[in-house]
């Protein structure tokens, strides 16, 4: 039987928001500025989810994947993405209603993302301005990224929640690994950037095909 939950932690990209087109546009902008070939938007579904430096490594030509080139890409990507990251991104169908229901039922809600902190906060505040998130945590210098469980453990500490009271919701194998490493129950969503097989192979506790199904595991 599922333990009653007090806290729901969401991944961002591919879980709450479909952000791939803006990520693709910004990365292609950086590639073009650096003189490298761009990729079709569909390619970015396999590039994202592990932080922007790993996004750049995936997008760069194999022989150009140096730290200097990653830094060069970042210098063009960041200002462009900061200005354009809400252009074509949008919440998945049913997500605003789910967050409203969770708020009305007094669940604590948090975000744990590998997207850098500035963009994570902007996107959440832009698309969900009325949702009282207990924590909004993205990638920060000196703090390990998922699948390291540190981000989940920090949210638990900030909200005074034990692992058994947490439901972690994400769309990737990295998310499922993060939940397992943190000792919390996981829900893999099938509407995101990764295939269902990746979620099951990485130990998803549950799978859902629509946001309202998440309520049944609380």
The reported pLDDT for the residue numbered 2 is 61
Taking residues 75-100, report their average pLDDT.
98
Residue 51 has pLDDT above 90, yes or no: no
Q: pTM for the full model?
A: 0.95
67 within 8 A of 78, measured Cβ to Cβ? no
Taking residues 200-213, report their average pLDDT.
98
Q: Which CATH superfamily does the domain covering 7-18+89-217 fall into? A: HAD superfamily/HAD-like (3.40.50.1000)
The reported pLDDT for the residue numbered 1 is 44
| Structure confidence by residue, pLDDT tens digits, 11-30 | 999 999 999 999 999 999 99
Q: By CB neighbour count within 10 A (0-12 exposed, 13-18 middle, 19+ buried), where does 42 fall?
A: exposed
Taking residues 80-107, report their average pLDDT.
98
Q: Rounded distance, CA 27 to CA 39, Å?
A: 9
Q: Do domains 7-18+89-217 and 20-84 have the same CATH topology?
A: no
Q: Which CATH architecture has domain 20-84?
A: Orthogonal Bundle (1.10)
Q: Buried b vs exposed e over 174-205: b needs ≥16 C-beta within 10 Å?
A: bbbbbbbebebbbbbbebbbbeeebbeebebb
The reported pLDDT for the residue numbered 4 is 87
Distance from chain centroid for Cα 77: 18
Domain boundaries along the sequence of the chain: 7-18+89-217, 20-84
Secondary structure element (H or E) that encloses residue 10, with its range: strand 7-10
The SS3 of residue 207 is: strand
**What percent of the chain clears pLDDT 70, i.e. is strictly above it?**
99
The reported pLDDT for the residue numbered 111 is 98
pLDDT band, residue 3 (cuts 50/70/90): confident
Q: What is the mean pLDDT of the chain?
A: 96
Nearest CA among 212, 198, 188, 202 for reference residue 15:
188
The reported pLDDT for the residue numbered 206 is 97
């Amino acid at each position: 039987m599922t333990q009653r939950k007090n806290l729901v932690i969401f991944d961002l990209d591919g879980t709450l928001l479909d952000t791939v087109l803006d990520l693709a546009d910004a990365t292609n902008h950086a590639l073009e500025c650096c003189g490298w070939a761009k990729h079709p938007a569909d390619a970015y579904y396999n590039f994202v989810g592990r932080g922007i430096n790993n996004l750049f490594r995936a997008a760069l030509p194999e022989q150009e994947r140096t730290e200097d080139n990653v830094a060069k890409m970042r210098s063009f990507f960041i200002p462009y993405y900061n200005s354009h990251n809400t252009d074509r991104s949008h919440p998945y169908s049913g997500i605003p209603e789910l967050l409203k229901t969770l708020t009305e039922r007094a669940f604590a809600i948090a975000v744990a993302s590998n997207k850098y902190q500035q963009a994570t906060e902007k996107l959440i505040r832009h698309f969900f301005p009325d949702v009282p998130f207990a924590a909004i945590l993205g990638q920060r210098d000196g703090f390990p990224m998922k699948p390291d469980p540190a981000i989940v453990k920090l949210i638990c500490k900030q909200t005074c929640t034990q692992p058994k009271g947490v439901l972690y919701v994400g769309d990737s194998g990295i998310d499922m690994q993060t939940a397992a490493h943190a000792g919390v129950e996981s829900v893999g969503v099938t509407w995101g950037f990764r295939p269902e097989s990746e979620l099951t192979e990485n130990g998803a506790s549950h799978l859902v095909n629509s946001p309202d199904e998440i309520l049944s595991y609380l």
